[in-house]
Amino acid sequence: MDFTKRFFWLAAFSVLLFCLEAKAASFLYAINDNAAGNQIYGFSVNETSGALTALAGFPVATGFNGGGSTNLEMITIDRLNKRLYAINRGSNNISAYSINDATGGLAVLPFSPIAGIANERVIKVHPSGSPLIVGGDEIASYVISSTSATPAAGSPYSPGANVSPAGATFSRDGNYFYTGGNLGDFFAGFAVNPGSGVLSALPGSPFNSGNQTPNPTATDATGRLFVINSRQALTRVYTTAAGVPAQVAGSPFANGLTSFASDGEVHPNGNFFMLADRTGNRIGVYQISGSGADTTLTAVAGSPFATGGTSSIALAFNQTGNFLFVGNGTSRNITTFSVNTSTGELTNRVVQTANALGAAGLINGIAYINFAPAVNFDAPLDFNGDGKSDYVVTRSANATSPSTWYINYNGSGNGLSYAVQFGIGVGLNTATSDRAVPEDFDGDDKDDIAVWRPTGVGDPGKAYFFILQSSTSTVRFEQFGRQGDDPSIVRDYDGDGKSDVAVFRKGNAITTDDPCGGSAIWYYRPSATPAVNFRYTCWGAPADFPLPGDFDGDGKGDFVVQRSNGSGMAATFFLNKSGGGTEAVNWGLPTDILVPGDYDGDGKTDIAISRAVSGTRNWFILERDGGTQTYQFGSSVDAPAMGDYNGDGKTDIATWRTSATPGQVFFFVRPAETTGAADFQFQWGQQNDYPVARYNVH
């Protein structure tokens, strides 16, 4: 019988879904630069609709004066420390505020205002919160603490000959700072010492762009730098090595914005560059294709998109990138677009009424902050989207019989649970039984019931993903991988908010279709670019084990393997990060079980292992900031079943314990890094079930 005729059985089921109101909040701020007195406007952001609602108590007067001339980036937010900074150009200082994460309200910090420099035009803050850098006639750097803002040694710094800052950007890792764009053909680059705040000119800085007013406006996770020559309708793309830029082969790229380009930003998924056309009142959107020196920019269909405002100058995305906000300088309002994260198209334009942000002055910058858990933290096995891992087991009579998934919604919906037949022999670990791969493949913030099936049909043995999409209740299947591959590495590798089908292939033999010369291969199919059949990364040795996760917190899956160094010796984890760079970390023993998760809630996957010791189970967690957690929890015969069962944004220590006695099969949970939180348990399943929470345990 053709295997496709037996690939799944679906039981009829009806599920009531519950939408739980998020407790976290998102805010958008805009500065009205006015020589008669600066004001900051604040709005709450509805992450579902993009709607903006004015915050109580706003606008907030800074108490100081603006410059009254057009500038691009006169407001910035330190997202890590919840601080907002605003330039008061007419008063030559900077206002500093803390942000209330519940109300969005602003409170003046004890070191505000900060004495500034002449003709301040741009302000940026390091990803760690210090230093704070202001560009004007010179470049000032300030070391920020909770109580002070202290000029760095040597500050202010000269930008160099023929450089006049109007815009600026940090590299994603904060190691480099670029500025320019007001006058001349050159832009400057500096190495940044985050501890001291000292800026050191990069070799070759300032850099000749070849055209007037080069504004370094954005960087991406691969180290590329995007520079716009605002008066020539050109966008230049550079690769960087130790911060030093080198223009890619096809650069500059005509962007078609012949009016006056201003602020540009890279979309959170890394696939698009969006650029504000100040006097044309429109937004250009460009597909980023290729990599390294082969990078190209191509306008997407429909670009440019009219904003409906005047002097469209500043851009900000919401956290997931499904909304784009545009600050319109002279109409003093904000335009909101919906963003198609697959195509880059801007739709559903909503424009505030003219003068919504004041009857005079200029909107010279906008900034967004989200206080929800990091977008790249996804509670595993969250089938109803409430931010908690659900209790899930599968049950199969044998390796060739249909499997039933039993799901309990973990306290949401009055303990609602359901059962659905999907897959064959799920979790029974035979050569052709299905492997559970529950991930969010359709981007609706709910995990999908999904399996990967090695069929043994064909040469070298075709394999298929079968996915029950929660957004449509329809099944899709994709041929991907082959018998012997490991599908547990399914992750979002392109940063579009959807998990990509993926497999890990051990490289123990060179075959005719092996692109990596015998090393391990990570294959994935990027959902953001459906035309791409697959991509791959060569990483790992034949005997290595994969450790899936996002270890640098950029919202994209990284390539990480565990390698044995011999019996009794520490194992080494080798990390190849999507945000750039590699690491080698010694942690644990080769015989330890890999239990990936974000145990400290910082948005980064930790290197975590579990070890059976004298009848108990020990857990050893190496956090990405160098901290450690150690637990003794569970029996050595328990199955690791980690997940976020209390919905606090941190992976919990958890096991599943089977028993021949009915009613005595339990999930046991210890909340990780949570002071005073009590252990808890939940009865679910029966003997010989498979706990789906261990689908990516090695």
Please determine, for residue 99, whether its predicted confidence score (pLDDT) is greater than 90: yes
CA 165, distance to chain mean position in Å, is: 29
Q: Structure pTM? A: 0.58
pLDDT tens-digit profile of 375-432? 445 789 998 888 889 999 999 999 899 999 999 988 654 456 779 999 999 988 887 8
E runs forming strands in 89-202: 93-99, 106-108, 114-115, 122-125, 132-135, 139-144, 149-151, 164-170, 176-183, 186-192, 199-201
677 vs 45, residue with greater confidence: 45
pLDDT, tens digit, for every residue of 461-510?
789 999 999 888 899 999 999 988 999 999 999 888 899 999 999 876 54
pLDDT tens-digit series, residues 317-358: 998 889 999 999 999 999 999 999 889 999 999 999 999 999
CA-nearest of 613, 498, 554 to 220 is 554
Half-sphere exposure of 397 (CA within 13 A, CB side): 4
Q: Is the pLDDT of residue 109 over 90?
A: yes
Cβ atoms of 229 and 245 within 8 Å: the answer is no
SS3 487: helix
pLDDT range class, residue 24, cuts 50, 70, 90:
low
Q: How far apart are CA 292 and CA 270, in angstroms?
A: 14
Mean pLDDT of all residues belonging to the chain: 88
Inter-residue contact 605 to 550 (CB < 8 Å): yes
CB atoms closer than 10 angstroms to residue 512: 4
Across 44-48, 112-116, 165-169, 510-514, which has the greatest mean pLDDT?
Answer: 112-116
What pLDDT does residue 413 have?
43
Domain over 391-694 is classified CATH 2.130.10? yes
Say whether pLDDT at 21 is over 80: no
Specify the amino acid at residue 290.
G
Under a CB-based contact definition with an 8 Å cutoff, are residues 479 and 454 in contact?
no
Which of 138-152, 443-457, 638-652 has the highest average model confidence (pLDDT)? 138-152
Band of the pLDDT at 92, cuts 50, 70, 90?
Answer: very high
Provide the 8-state DSSP code for 369: E
Q: What is the pLDDT of residue 676?
A: 55
CB atoms within 10 A of CB 399: 17
Residue 15's pLDDT is 33
Read off the tokens for 551: 């270890």
pLDDT of residue 275: 94
Element containing residue 229 per DSSP (H, E): strand 225-229
C-beta separation of 158 from 140 below 8 A: no
Assign residue 653 a region: left if phi > 0, alpha if psi is -120 to 50, beta otherwise? beta
Instruction: Kindly state the DSSP code that residue 40 receives in the 8-state scheme.
Output: E
Quickly list DSSP for 252-286. SEE----S-EEEEEE-TTSSEEEEEETTTTEEEEE
Encoded amino acid at 67, one letter:
G
Band (374; pLDDT cuts 50, 70, 90):
very low
* Top-confidence residue, 566 or 573: 573
pLDDT at residue 115 in the model:
97
Predicted local confidence at residue 20, as pLDDT: 32
Pairing of strands 572-576, 474-482: unpaired
Section 449-467 average pLDDT: 85
**pLDDT of amino acid 13:** 33
CB distance 126 to 144 below 8 Å: no
Sequence-distant (6+) residues with CB within 8 A of 459 are none
Average pLDDT over residues 534-538: 90
Strand partners, 587: none
Place of tokens 């999908």: 448
Asked whether the beta carbons of 413 and 384 are under 8 A apart, the reply is: yes
pLDDT value at residue 282: 94
Better-predicted residue by pLDDT, 314 or 263: 314
663 in the Ramachandran plot: left (φ > 0), alpha (ψ -120 to 50) or beta?
left
- What is the percentage of the chain residues whose pLDDT exceeds 90? 63
pLDDT of residue 233: 78
Query: What is the CATH T-level fold of the domain 26-371, as seen in this structure?
Result: Methylamine Dehydrogenase; Chain H (2.130.10)
Instruction: Write out the two tokens for 142.
Output: 């300030």
Residue with the bigger pLDDT between 510 and 287: it is 287
Q: Is the pLDDT of residue 113 over 90?
A: yes
Tokens representing residue 39 in the block: 């004001």
Confidence band (pLDDT; 50, 70, 90) for 631? confident
Residue with the bigger pLDDT between 309 and 432: it is 309
Q: What Å distances lie between residue 217 and 20, 95, 126, 201, 291, CA to CA?
A: 38, 23, 15, 18, 19
pLDDT score, position 415: 52
Confidence grade of residue 68 (pLDDT, cut at 50, 70, 90): confident
CA–CA gap between residue 507 and residue 581 (Å, rounded): 23
Tell which wins on pLDDT, 531 or 208: 208
Instruction: State the chain's maximal CA–CA distance in angstroms.
Output: 81
* pLDDT score recorded for residue 377: 54
**Residue 130: predicted pLDDT:** 93
Is 26-371's fold the same as 391-694's? Answer: yes
18 pLDDT tier (thresholds 50, 70, 90):
very low
- In this structure, of 201-205, 259-263, 627-631, the range with the lowest mean pLDDT score is 259-263
Q: Is the peptide bond between 206 and the residue preceding it cis, with omega within 30 degrees of 0?
A: yes
Domain boundaries, the chain: 26-371, 391-694
